[in-house]
Structure 1
Amino acid sequence: MPRFIHSGLVTLLVACCLPLVAHGASNADIEPAAAESSATPAVPDPRIGPLLKAHGTPFTIDDDGDYRILVDLGDDRTQIVWVRSVVHETGEQRIREVWTYGYRSDERRIPATVANRLLSENFDLILGAWARSEGNAVLVLKIPADADADTLNEAIDLAASIGDRMEKQLVSGDEL
């Protein structure tokens, strides 16, 4: 997953320039990867749980300490969204990531047509961008780490709807 290195420039470049996606795994097979940063806590950020509970959002906590939410989109469609416990700092800002996947490739290689589609999608996204994580494409929304319950809920819903829309376009199914 993209990580800030002091100034956050690396994450910005990854999020904007590496829109790679993947397809074909079940919900249980996919989790944000902690191996990419030793800064990933194994304990959840205690500020997130109460915000999720304020909206009645059910969640589990994964092995990385991230909040895993299965969003029901209706019509027998679901989308997994993660609220990351890691907080990135850029001097003046504290940022939290909200993740979802849109496509997975068993070859861990993204066809050029798919990558180009995601670059086009990135241009139109307001709050996030498609990025690469361990051969998968993830939509990464970045919100203030101290966002209130309404802002966090909006980011979760937005991530789920954008991720599901991209999944329908790219794999014609509900895999995530």
Structure 2
Amino acid sequence: MRTFAVSMLLCFSVSSVVNAAERATPAKPGPEGDPAVRQLLDKLKYQYEVDEEGDFRLTFAMDEDKGGRSQLVFVRSPVETYGSHKVREIWSPAYVSATDEFPADVANRLLEATQESKLGAWAKQGRYAVFVVKLAADAGIDALDDAVDAALRSAEEMEMELTPGKDAF
């Protein structure tokens, strides 16, 4: 058993060295946002704003039975590359910590939810927990629509679970 553990540790160490050597390089979007994303969002008839970083900010009204809640989703303009993969991220925030660290129960719940997720994962961005879907940069309208839907529903459910009665996002 000890040999197995040492082998796995060595494997992970080598893997992180390889991954560090192949860091993703983001493309630089313009302040108007990626025109390809804009075209897809317009076809979907989504209302959005473009923020100062060129990302698309969408606000969705959630079901009335949830008390008129809303949920933010960001479709990022930059395209990240890793080897032959080119991906775009769709983010939706659900939690903000009072400190730079998440409480252990929150961090553990986010890890559990990531395991349960069919599309996307939870990530820590500063003091925020955001649900992130990584989508092929050239994905079509249906894939983008599914990614936005997965992000907003996952984040909305987690926000209601972690901060009952509040709607910060």
Q: Which range, TM-score by smaller chain? A: 0.7 to 0.9
**Structure 2 letter corresponding to 1:47:** A
Q: TM-score if structure 1 supplies the norm length?
A: 0.76
Q: Which residue of 2 aligns with 1:138?
A: 130
Matched residue, 1:170: 162
Structure 2 gap segments, 5+ residues each: 1-18
| Contact in 2 for aligned 1:94/1:144 (Cα 8 Å) | yes
Q: Structure 2: how far apart are the matches of 1:85 and 1:59? A: 13
CA distance in 2, matches of 1:168, 1:91: 38
1:72 aligns with 2:87: no
* Distance in 2 of aligned mates of 1:5 and 1:128: 22
Match of 1:120 in 2: 112
Q: Distance in 2 between matches of 1:121 and 1:114?
A: 10
**2-structure distance, mates of 1:135, 1:40:** 25
What does the per-residue CA deviation read over 1:86-145, in whole Å, with 9 as the maximum and x for residues that have no partner?
A: 101112111000001010023232100000011111111122111111121111100110
Amino acid at match of 2:35: P
| Structure 1: runs of 5 or more not aligned | 10-36
Among 39, 56, 60, which residue is 1:50 paired with? 39
The structure with the largest helix share of the pair is 2
Where relative contact order (Cα < 8 A, 6+ residues apart) is larger, the structure is 1
Query: In structure 2, what residue type is equivalent to 1:70?
Result: T
Name the SS for the 2:74 alignment partner. Answer: strand
Matched ranges for 1:1-176 at <5 A: 7=22, 41-43=29-31, 44-75=33-64, 76-172=68-164, 173-176=166-169
Q: Which runs of 4+ in 1 moved over 6 A?
A: none
Q: How many residues align?
A: 146
Q: Is the 8 A contact 2:26 2:80 kept in 1?
A: no
The DSSP-based 3-state class of the residue aligned with 2:87 is strand
Query: What is the aligned-residue RMSD (CA, Å)?
Result: 2.1
Identical columns (%): 36
Name the structure 1 match of 2:3. none
Structure 2 length normalisation: TM-score? 0.79
Distance 1:6 1:96 in 2: 21
- Structure number, greater radius of gyration: 2
The answer on whether the counterparts of 2:95 and 2:129 sit within 8 Å (CA) in structure 1 is: yes
What is the CA–CA distance in structure 2 between the aligned matches of 1:40 and 1:134, rounded to whole Å? 22
1:5–1:139 distance in 2 versus 1, CA, 3 Å: farther
